[in-house]
Structure 1
């Protein structure tokens, strides 16, 4: 599976979701977007689950590396 990574920790919060959606949209089927964030992206998961038909919610993974680093993988069907 090919992955694209976005480090969002230095991106202003209002700009994060549009960047994520644009990067996810650019993926081909079977690829994944990995995001590095300063908080758990649970609201993003629910947003994608509700609004993005090509999001593979069952393949979603998130790992907390330290108290301010969360790495989430959003696979595209």
Structure 2
């Protein structure tokens, strides 16, 4: 029996309605087990999304650019530790961690 390492799932959000992109990626992260990753492809630098992840989940978000520029921004997101996260209904504003 061989132990084949599966690559992280990949989602191209460029084909999604822009308003659904953050919600979808935040949900994916919320359901992600510790130590697991997913990759997404965006049409612009998704740095504001990184700050949104951090404001909700704290310092448990691994963020690695795999490609930068043009219409191809590819990022691998990893859950580094457990986090309950903040629910949008629990807070009136999110922290700006820039």
Q: TM-score, normalised by structure 1?
A: 0.82
Match of 1:61 among 20, 43, 64: 64
The root-mean-square deviation of aligned C-alpha atoms, in Å, is 1.9
Moved over 6 A (4+): none
Q: Compare CA radii of gyration and give the structure with the larger one.
A: 2
User: Structure 1: which 5+ residue stretches go unaligned?
Assistant: none
SS at match of 2:73: strand
d(CA) in 2 for partners of 1:54 and 1:27?
A: 15
Unaligned runs of 5+ residues in structure 2 are 81-98
Would you say 1:6 and 2:11 are equivalent positions? Answer: yes
| Cα 1:25–1:54 shift into 2, 3 Å | farther
Structure 2 counterparts to residues 31-50 of structure 1, below 5 A: 31-50=36-55
Q: How many residues align?
A: 74
- Specify whether residues 16 and 9 from structure 1 end up closer, same or farther in structure 2 by C-alpha distance, changes over 3 A only: same
The residue number in structure 2 matching 1:76 is 79
C-alpha deviations, 1:28-70, integer Å up to 9, x for none? 11001211000110000111112114733xx311121x51110
Secondary structure at the residue paired with 2:21? helix
Query: So what's the TM-score if we normalise by structure 2?
Result: 0.66
Normalized per residue, the structure richer in strand is: 1
